[in-house]
Amino acid sequence: MFEQDLELISTQVRSALAELGVPGADQTEIKWTQTPFAGQWGLGTNACFQAAAAEARGGKKVNVPQRAQELARLVADRVVLPAGFTRVVSDKAYVNAYFDTSAYAGRVVSAAIDGGPDFGRGPTRTERVMVEYAQPNTHHSFHIGHARNAILGESLARLFEFAGYTTLRAAYPGDIGLGVITVVWAYNKFYKGQEPAGLHERGQWLLKIYAEATALLTEKEGESAEDKARREAYDAERREIYKRWDAGDAEIRALWETTRAWSLDELNAILADLDIHIDFWFYESEEDEPSKAVVDKLIASGIAEDQRPEGPVIVKIDEKLGLTKDKYGVAVVLRSDGTTLYLTKDLSLAQKKFTEHHVDQSIYVVDFRQSLHFQQAFKILELMGYKQAEKCYHLSYGFVTLPEGAMSARRGTVVLYKDVADEAVRRVHATIAEKNPDLPQADRDRVAREIGLGALCYALLGVDNVKGITFEWDAALSMDGKSAPYIQNGHVRANSILKKAGELPTNAAFGDDLNPLEVALIELIANFPRTVQQAAEDHKPLLMATYAYDLAKAFHSFYHEVPVNQAEPQIRAARLRLTAAVRQTLANALRLLVVKAPDVM
């Protein structure tokens, strides 16, 4: 908001320091940070620390902190302020420039109100960003770990979109592979023709079949000869099914298609439930054929070495990059029998993203165990000459575990997303019945969903993505303290005040004697656009989650301490506008967290 004026002051600080004989002062970069609140607020710089340190390094005998303080005083005396600033003073070794409080407050609040749903939106950029998330395997069911992936990806996509980038959302289900075939085999053998009623029931049934099948195919301790023979026979059948699938056998393909559709239907329903709308669906099964062409290309260009039939097709990444140390290792891009691998398909999919979808920046939301895989993939793309490779980013995250250990589809110990979502809604219904029995029945279902799912999403985004989450029901569905309902409640309260007030004044002057809590709110609102940019650039929805909480917390304090509707007319008008600005900013922040902002709860 003050970039140009600040540059003016920066120039003055530089020349003042130079005049005072600080070596290299005219080159110094002056960084401004917000001053801690002291009745008034503004921006400050610690440049004098650097200046004093530079003097010390230059051989001058000085006590750095003392000298810095002295310099700050001298610099502050020499700065002539542009309009909009009221005073410049030194505080310890800082040089602080303070704003015209009321003018600044009015400006910030109006920006939020006038901007509406677009308040905080960044300038339009030409860069196209694709975020790939939602890559669950089909023939399983969507569990709480998949939910973390989907929410993280969706929040990041919304952040990029709002930050000003053209944003494309991509899903990439794993619809083929041994795990999938295992289910097709077991379904065909034991359950053929059966089909549970209900979308989620069908999806979840496949998970049960998978767990059963895996048990049948896994060697047990002290297994009898008879058991062993049966197990091996089953395994042979499974391999046979895979071969038939590969050969395009119509019967097997039909079975696969049917069961696959059950999974994808459930996935679609869940994504819709979370208000996630994917632009491009890629499937592993569809990358199989095209990916073979990538291998040919790699061999032809000398990047890959073909060791067939004795060995696979490999890329010696370190060697090709000219590295002496072992860093990326050797990647296998095609099996010796000519079949493709996960990496093969990811290479061709990346190529498709670059060439067909003109993606400049490609983000992969995948758990942290795949780090090496993506490093290898990105380096091979670089070797292939794709300059977009350097803008490929693996957003790695820790997975969701249970207090008793890792979730396992094989053992059937998974917490399903659907169960958690249902429980969340159930708990909110109970809370509404207790705390707000007057809420019209017609609103209850909607509100319960918005609060319940919000709580869940916030719990998944409120922890840094590099860290794992131990799933616990009460923590994940918390409605107190640092949680979505707390933030939503702030929104509801702001809304309630505004509703009671009637029409919103079109403008209002803020006095100079603002309450500290008002100042805190204005400061936070002013920071929102910057936070959007940073959260996108750092790939960290957590920053937005923290921001939304901080704003809600400040508003709750304000609400208790500072009367709005009961205040004198002029002050009332200003506070109403401040409240409206808070409501808008909370709504915008929540939207970026894939959480709804209800008007009542």
Partner RNA sequence: GCGCCUGUAGCUCAGUUGGAUUAGAGCGUUUGCUUGCGGAGCAAAAGGCCAGGGGUUCGAAUCCCUUCAGGCGCACCA
Q: What is the footprint of RNA within residues 373-432 (CB under 7 A)?
A: 373, 398, 406, 428, 431-432
Binders of RNA in range 550-579 (CB under 7 A): 553, 556-557, 559-566
Candidates 178, 197, 247, 442: give the one binding RNA (CB under 7 A).
178
- When binding is defined by CB under 7 A, the residue of 210, 417, 486, 528 that contacts RNA is 486
Closer Cβ to RNA, 199 or 341, answer by number: 341
Q: Which is nearer to RNA, 14 or 493 (CB)?
A: 493
Give me the phi and psi of 473, to 5 degrees please.
Answer: -50, -55
Burial label for 123, CB within 10 Å (0-12, 13-18, 19+), is exposed
In a 3-state reduction of DSSP, which class is residue 401?
strand
Sequence-ordered alpha helix ranges (H) in 303-440: 317-321, 342-355, 371-383, 417-435
61 binds RNA (CB under 7 A): no
Q: Which of 106, 145, 203, 462 binds RNA (CB under 7 A)?
A: 462
Partnered with residue 99 across adjacent β-strands are 85
Q: Which is nearer to RNA, 7 or 561 (CB)?
A: 561
d(CA 553, CA 582): 11
- Interaction of residue 461 with RNA, rule CB under 7 A: no
Per CB under 7 A, the list member of 49, 85, 364, 458 interacting with RNA is 49
Footprint on residues 246-305 left by RNA (CB under 7 A): 284
Residue 349 is a binding residue for RNA (CB under 7 A)? no
CB of 451 to RNA, least distance (A): 5
Q: Which residue, 191 or 282, has its beta carbon nearer to RNA?
A: 282
Residues 496-525 that bind RNA (CB under 7 A): 496-497, 500
- Interface with RNA in residues 307-326 (CB under 7 A): 311-312, 314, 326
| 478 contacts RNA (rule: CB under 7 A) | yes
Question: Taking the complex as a whole, how short is the minimal distance between the CB of residue 194 and RNA, in angstroms?
Answer: 27
The least distance separating RNA from the CB of residue 582, rounded to whole angstroms, comes to 12
Whose tokens are 């005072």? That residue is 20
Does the protein bind RNA through residue 542 (CB under 7 A)? yes
φ and ψ at residue 406, rounded to 5 degrees: -65, 150
If you ran DSSP here, which 8-state letter would residue 386 be given?
-
Q: How near is the Cβ of 170 to RNA at its closest, in Å?
A: 16
514 vs 519: CA distance, rounded Å: 6
One of 10, 12, 28, 50 touching RNA (CB under 7 A): 50
Specify the stretch interacting with RNA by CB under 7 A; choose among 141-149, 194-202, 463-471, 507-515.
Answer: 463-471
CB of 343 to RNA, least distance (A): 7
If one asks whether residue 245 binds RNA (CB under 7 A), the answer comes out as no
Write out the two tokens for 514: 């603002």
Q: Which is nearer to RNA, 106 or 452 (CB)?
A: 452
In terms of CB distance, is 469 or 508 closer to RNA? 469
DSSP E strands: which ranges in 66-190?
85-91, 94-99, 128-133, 166-171
Do 400 and 145 meet the contact criterion of CB atoms below 8 Å apart?
yes
Cβ neighbours for 21, distance < 8 A, ≥ 6 positions apart: none
Structure tokens at 451: 């609060």
Distance CA 341, CA 288 (A): 8
Chain positions 130 to 169 lying near RNA, rule: CB under 7 A, are 137
Give the residues across from 56 on adjacent strands. none
Binder of RNA out of 236, 323, 466, 509 (CB under 7 A): 466
Please tell me the distance from the alpha carbon of residue 8 to that of residue 11, in angstroms, as a whole number.
5
Q: Regarding beta strands 280-281 and 166-171, do their DSSP bridges make them parallel or antiparallel, or are they unpaired?
A: parallel
Between residues 30 and 276, which has the closer beta carbon with respect to RNA? Answer: 30
> Which CA distances in Å does 5 have to 10, 28, 97, 526?
9, 18, 11, 17
